[in-house]
Amino acid sequence: MTRAIRAVNTSLHYLAGALIVGVVAITVYNVLGRWLFDAPLRGVVELTELAMVGIVYLGLARAQQQDGHITVDLLYQRLGQRWRAALDAFAAVVGVVVVALIAWRLYVYAGVLEAGGRTTASRRIPLYPFAYLAIVGLAAYVLALATSFVRSLRDAGRREPPTEPDPMWRSTL
């Protein structure tokens, strides 16, 4: 199961990367079109905004999988293996609950967008598919958080070898 989740996260990661390349391409095309031919591409800002939905949401799961999210670990590193694993498990559970709630509310909102026929202003691109795309990214993120939770439980049972204290924390007296 973990291997399948990793494969999905990697695929979504590459899709997010392709969206970044697409944003760069339309931006370059727009700049060159405006500068060389005085004919900019209509709706570049809208296309960039819509692509950002995919870039952000599709990359969350891979960042979780690789422990790539920003953390503050001033106290965390001073704790033992079991306490760190317990904090990781707690953070994963809270993350699953919060992200699942966000996905649920986004699903409701996507239905509102679809029923109302909401589109972008200049290119008239429907908005609801991008809300559903964000939900796919959030679902993958929930699975990555659940995998992190299981890993934390497994790590809690392991004993860490004794280590020498960090020299930074040694007394100079």
For 49-95, the pLDDT digits (tens) are 999 999 999 999 999 999 888 887 888 888 888 888 889 899 999 99
Spatial contact of 23 and 51, defined as CB atoms under 8 Å apart: yes
Q: Which residue has the higher pLDDT, 162 or 111?
A: 111
pLDDT in tens, 96-119: 999 999 999 999 999 999 999 999
Of 113, 102, 95, 93, whose CA–CA distance to 135 is shortest? 102
**29, part of any domain:** yes
**Cα torsion at 55, 61, 62, 68 (round to 10°)?**
100
**45, part of any domain:** yes
Spatial contact of 134 and 59, defined as CB atoms under 8 Å apart: no
Structural domain count, the chain: 1
Partners of 119 in the β-ladder: 126
**What range defines the domain where residue 105 resides?**
2-158
**165, part of any domain:** no
**Cα torsion at 50, 138, 66, 18 (round to 10°)?**
-30
**171, part of any domain:** no
Give the global pTM. Answer: 0.83
* Residue 173: pLDDT over 50: no
